[in-house]
């Protein structure tokens, strides 16, 4: 039997109810098992697109700064 990788660490992010509702409505038409999986996939895709469009001009930021900013905006608990 092959070894499976341990799951990635996760954090909670608060989303407006209207977005969660939209995700839940789309979920049956996807191959995802949970809203969390769907949102993580969409976020990865959007970030990859934004980062590729920025190309050389993409400025790396400290993940701590991003987390602090998200907390100040009320998106992280």
For the whole prediction, is pTM greater than 0.85?
no
Average pLDDT score over residue span 6-16: 88
Q: Give 74's Cβ-side CA count (13 Å radius).
A: 2
Select the more confidently predicted residue: 50 or 70: 50
Task: Tell me which DSSP letter residue 74 carries.
Answer: T
Question: Residue 76 forms beta bridges with which residues?
Answer: 13
Going from N- to C-terminal start, the domains of the chain cover 13-53+70-77
Instruction: Tokens for 49, please give them.
Output: 């697109």
What is residue 23's predicted lDDT score, i.e. its pLDDT? Answer: 92
């Amino acid at each position: 039997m092959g070894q499976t990788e341990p799951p990635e660490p996760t954090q909670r992010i608060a989303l407006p109810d209207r977005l969660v509702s939209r995700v839940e409505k789309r979920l049956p038409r996807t191959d995802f098992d949970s809203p969390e999986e769907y949102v993580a996939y969409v976020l990865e895709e959007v970030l990859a697109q934004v980062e590729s469009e920025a190309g050389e001009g993409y400025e790396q930021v400290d993940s701590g700064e991003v987390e602090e900013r998200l907390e100040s905006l009320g998106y992280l608990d």
